[in-house]
């Protein structure tokens, strides 16, 4: 009996998917995978340390599903912040969702394509700290990421973007947020 119900559910699903595919044409050209690289300047508050800042690189792999929506996986690694016997750095990886609002400007016969960006996602952060008294300590936690920015499409494959993100962290001692400013380029296939 269970096999019959399972086979019936598979058959109904197959018919529904084929009907949906016939009713709506799927345009493969809207699906655009890309790779990107961003430079990021990040600040935070760490207890007993005067507002450390980091320069970091972020490598990303993503997909734009249409001109309005995309997703991106990222990996980020910062340089070391040092001050009076204290040093730390962070690395992060995670997933961001992107929403795009295209703005087409026609000035002097030039066609320029800008998009306003809204982004949200989550990441896993590792903060590595060292003082002159202690050895290396690693602290791990999650970060919930919200941001906004602008993107300029140079051509069909290349775009540049500038973003600001606020990242709320959880379970990282002495750090409850990061503020991040980034500038990057992405190449679509």
Q: What is the pLDDT of residue 109?
A: 61
Q: What is the pLDDT of residue 18?
A: 47
Nearest Cα to Cα of residue 172 among 130, 123, 127: 127
Residue 145's CB: how many other CB atoms inside 10 A?
A: 23
Does pLDDT of 107 surpass 60?
A: yes
- 82 or 120: which leads in pLDDT: 120
Q: Domain residue spans in the chain?
A: 27-188
Q: How far is CA 60 from CA 4, 148, 169, 186, in A?
A: 45, 17, 21, 9
Can you give the pTM of this predicted structure? 0.78
What is d(CA 120, CA 71) in angstroms, rounded to the nearest whole number? 10
Q: What is the pLDDT of residue 32?
A: 92
Q: What is the pLDDT of residue 85?
A: 74
Mean pLDDT of 142-166: 95
The CATH number of the domain covering residues in 27-188 = 2.40.160.20
Q: What pLDDT, in 10s, does the model give residues 33-60? A: 999 999 999 998 766 666 788 999 999 9
């Amino acid at each position: 009996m269970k096999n019959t119900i399972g086979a019936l559910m598979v058959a109904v699903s197959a018919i529904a998917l084929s009907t949906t595919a016939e009713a709506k044409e799927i345009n493969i050209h809207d699906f655009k995978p890309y790779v990107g690289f961003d430079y990021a300047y990040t600040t935070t508050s760490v207890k007993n340390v005067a507002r450390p800042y980091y320069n970091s690189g972020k490598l990303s792999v993503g997909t734009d599903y249409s001109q309005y929506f995309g997703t991106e996986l990222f990996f980020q690694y910062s340089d070391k912040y040092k001050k009076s016997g204290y040093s730390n750095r962070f690395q992060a990886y995670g997933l961001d969702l992107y929403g795009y609002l295209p703005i087409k400007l026609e000035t002097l016969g030039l066609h320029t394509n800008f998009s306003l960006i809204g982004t949200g996602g989550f990441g896993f952060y590792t903060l590595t700290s060292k003082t002159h008294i202690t050895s290396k300590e690693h602290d791990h936690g999650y970060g919930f990421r919200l941001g906004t920015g602008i993107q300029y499409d140079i051509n069909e494959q290349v775009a540049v973007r500038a973003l600001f993100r606020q990242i709320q962290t959880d379970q990282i001692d002495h750090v409850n947020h990061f503020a991040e400013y980034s500038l990057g380029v992405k190449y679509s296939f």
